[in-house]
Structure 1
Amino acid sequence: MTLALHGLDRLIRLRQRWSRLFVGAPEGPADDGRLNEIADFGENPGALRMLVHVPAALRPGAPLVVALHGCTQTAAGYDRGCGWSAMADRLGFALLLPEQRSENNPKRCFNWFAPDDTRRDSGEAASIRQMVDHMLREHRLDPHRVFVTGLSAGGGMSSALLACYPEVFAAGAILAGLPHGAAASVPQAFEAMFQPKILSAEERAAPVRAASGHAGPWPRISVWQGAADRTVAPANADEILKQWLALHGQDLERPAGSATADGVTHRLWLAPDGRRLVEAYSIDSLAHGVPLHPPGEAQEHEGRIGEAGPYMLDVGLSSTHAILDFWGLAPAPQRAFVVSRGGEAREVTERPSLAARLLRKARRLAGLGSD
């Protein structure tokens, strides 16, 4: 009885902590007309909304990007903050933004922890899979270039989609998310968010291996985490990395390269042929949200996109650009722009970007050249 009361008390405290995180959290902005809703896309067991952006005159064989918002956010707000539809127009890819309904989750979080929503051909995961099929069929997109990314609960659902449908997604990017199989109930979800279990790589990989009959090759993964995050504990990033590195036959402690600059640490794991398999960004100043570098006054500079706001955080680094580079959809900016302010003074300097420097270093160390 004492143990049961202790567990109940802990659950209450975790729920209170969760509720405080979103007190007064504004909803995402209203749709600005860049997204269109598709009502009839097939079976929808997860009861999600399907919103899309398809650039004019998109060519057949174009890639598809799936972007999943975080709690309290909307698809339109997430798109505006990250700049995904602007990049779709610029680079020529189709964009799918599933949206959670408050009827499914009062905070509009994707139910990344619920077994019925994170199992192959079930619930929310199956709804998103149906949306992907609809986009591939209707717009004649490249089925070998489908990518998924998401923030927080959207990051957790991205983990689930990559695990349940590894044959569908070429690569993913998980921002402030959680590993697949980290929780199977609300109490476990709170525990995983605030105090994740430290498991072995094979223990983390097991739920992914069990999620489908897939035997590889596995999707490539980019993992993003803020060291100042108080919503999803930073230790979750390494647990996600363990999960996917084990599947790729890589070791967390043996990256091909690691570099740190301006409070950002970037680790990289390469395939024998030099392809980037897994990467990780840890940002010292980043709280819970998407790392951005909005245009501001320096719109002429490359590597800037998006709009800062709640959970859309200007840290001087565009995760949108870096993720697209990792996926092979666009080269990352080769220069980084560092802005310092002191009173009225403003100085802009440029240097080779951290990602560009690390990739050259890792490939050189692997004997693969620097290109």
Structure 2
Amino acid sequence: MRRLSDTIGRLVAARGVGEGMAPAGTDRLTDLTGFGRNPGNLRARLYVPASVGPRPALVVVLHGCTQTAAGYDIGSGWSRLADEAGFVLLFPEQQRANNPNLCFNWFATEDMSRDHGEAFSIREMIVATIAAHDVDSTRVFVTGLSAGGAMTAVMLATYPELFAGGAVIGGLPYGTAAGVVQALDRMRGHAMPDAAALDTLARGASTHHGGWPTLSIWHGDADATVHAANAEAILAQWRGLHDVPEAPSSCETIAGHPHRTWRDAGGRAVIEDHRILGMGHGTPIATRGPEACGTAGAFMLDVGVSSTRRIAAFWGIAPMPAAIAAPATAPAPQRLRSVPGIAVPAALKGPATVINDALRAAGLLR
């Protein structure tokens, strides 16, 4: 059986080594040292804007495979938005000694369990940052792409008391893989647990009995690296945690892409789901217009929608620019062919660009 690192290594070779690194001279982050126990052997990077509001929010950002913290920051634009809105950023960074392709080990039991491995290292970084920068502990958020998105799900499940909200981009639900074989199957969308099992997995990750963080989910409908069935499974897992029905409270389109929202009994938006039509595997960004934030590159996909700005707005820590129009209410829905369960007009279905040849060569598709 091919190792996961070998599989991703083939993808790296096909797309170019080092493409997730920050260009020389563009690293805006500093090192956080002495943050506590570090059983996961992770590096901690930090960004504190020149102007920070009193009791600022904290956003924890988890990069994807082959990427660095600084590279992901430049691509996604998080530090640019932090300059505008005055919140603090923490970037846990994987090291090659742990994973040769810089993937967070979201599928390894020792790293996805509370008070163990990488999950505990990230928790220690968060606690240290809260203390050092007088962060409002009720406004701590976490987001990530791909393996970083899956690790975001790990953090939300294992330490729900730490977070007010999270955002998973092209990621996977918590607890569905234990080891390489299952990780590859879940990435393909195979043998996903049902909603009841997903709920049990998340609730069993800690002894938490309080409310759950809000969640923003982003996935491209042409993502052939992490199948969109994973986004549906994340939705099923978190609908159970928030005790909301399967049907969304509202459906809109944002820049031509379907967007669904679930509200709790008090009317608070607790889950939102964005599907970007025609987009492959990566973080949605916008490089032009009032929504511009970030820089296009490998896995940083300019689709005219900034996930960074919209995630921060969903969390309530940075407003959307006033020039951006409100979302349009979708007309009578039809099924989006490639993603089960999404309601979207057929006219909005964009072209799906699929990288099957590269994925078959990498062993991700048969």
Same fold (TM over 0.5): yes
Deviation at 1:31, TM superposition (A): 5.8
Show CA shifts across 1:240-278 (max 9, x none).
Answer: 0111110100123x1001123655110110122221100
Higher normalized contact order (CA 8 Å, seq sep 6+, divided by chain length): 2
Q: Which position in structure 2 is the counterpart of 1:343?
A: none
Q: Measure the CA separation in 1 of the matches of 2:264 and 2:323.
A: 25
Whether the 8 Å CA contact 2:244–2:262 is kept in 1: the answer is: yes
Q: Measure the CA separation in 2 of the matches of 1:261 and 1:37.
A: 37
- Name the aligned partner's letter for residue 200 of structure 1: D
Instruction: List aligned pairs for 1:169-188, cutoff 5 A.
Output: 169-188=163-182
Whether the 8 Å CA contact 2:219–2:231 is kept in 1: the answer is: yes
Aligned equivalent of 1:303, options 266, 271, 291 = 291
Q: Which position in structure 2 is the counterpart of 1:22?
A: 12
Aligned equivalent of 1:116, options 95, 101, 110 = 110
Aligned equivalent of 1:76, options 70, 76, 80 = 70
CA spacing shift, 1:200–1:135, aligned 2, 3 Å:
same
CA spacing shift, 1:27–1:78, aligned 2, 3 Å:
closer
TM-score, reference length from structure 2: 0.85
Q: Measure the CA separation in 2 of the matches of 1:78 and 1:273.
A: 36
Q: Which position in structure 1 is the counterpart of 2:263?
A: 270
Residue 325 of structure 1 pairs with residue 308 of structure 2: no
Report the RMSD for the aligned CA atoms in angstroms: 1.9
Whether the 8 Å CA contact 2:249–2:262 is kept in 1: the answer is: yes
Q: Measure the CA separation in 2 of the matches of 1:259 and 1:287.
A: 21
Instruction: List aligned pairs for 1:155-166, cutoff 5 A.
Output: 155-166=149-160
Highest CA radius of gyration, 1 or 2?
A: 1
Q: How many residues align?
A: 326
Range that drifts further, 190-199 or 258-267: 258-267
Whether the 8 Å CA contact 1:15–1:190 is kept in 2: the answer is: no
Deviation at 1:303, TM superposition (A): 1.4
Instruction: List aligned pairs for 1:217-366, cutoff 5 A.
Output: 217-252=211-246, 254-260=247-253, 263-295=256-288, 301-333=289-321, 335-336=323-324, 352-354=325-327
Q: Measure the CA separation in 2 of the matches of 1:326 and 1:281.
A: 12
Aligned equivalent of 1:66, options 54, 60, 64 = 60
Aligned equivalent of 2:130, options 136, 139, 145 = 136
Q: Measure the CA separation in 2 of the matches of 1:133 and 1:308.
A: 32
Aligned equivalent of 1:39, options 33, 38, 47 = 33
Identity among equivalent positions (%) equals 48
Q: Secondary structure at the match of 2:232?
A: helix
- Name the aligned partner's letter for residue 122 of structure 1: H
CA spacing shift, 1:261–1:34, aligned 2, 3 Å:
closer
Q: Measure the CA separation in 2 of the matches of 1:176 and 1:205.
A: 20
Show CA shifts across 1:226-252 (max 9, x none).
Answer: 011111001100000111110100123
Show CA shifts across 1:51-87 (max 9, x none).
Answer: 0001124234110000000000000000000110111
- Name the aligned partner's letter for residue 21 of structure 1: L
Q: Measure the CA separation in 2 of the matches of 1:202 and 1:212.
A: 17
Residue 97 of structure 1 pairs with residue 91 of structure 2: yes
Q: Secondary structure at the match of 2:312?
A: helix
Structure 1 gap segments, 5+ residues each: 1-10, 296-300, 337-351, 359-371
- Name the aligned partner's letter for residue 285 of structure 2: L
CA spacing shift, 1:278–1:31, aligned 2, 3 Å:
farther
Instruction: List aligned pairs for 1:198-217, cutoff 5 A.
Output: 198-217=192-211
CA spacing shift, 1:16–1:230, aligned 2, 3 Å:
farther
- Name the aligned partner's letter for residue 327 of structure 1: W
Q: Measure the CA separation in 2 of the matches of 1:63 and 1:247.
A: 24
Show CA shifts across 1:333-370 (max 9, x none).
Answer: 4554xxxxxxxxxxxxxxx342x758xxxxxxxxxxxx
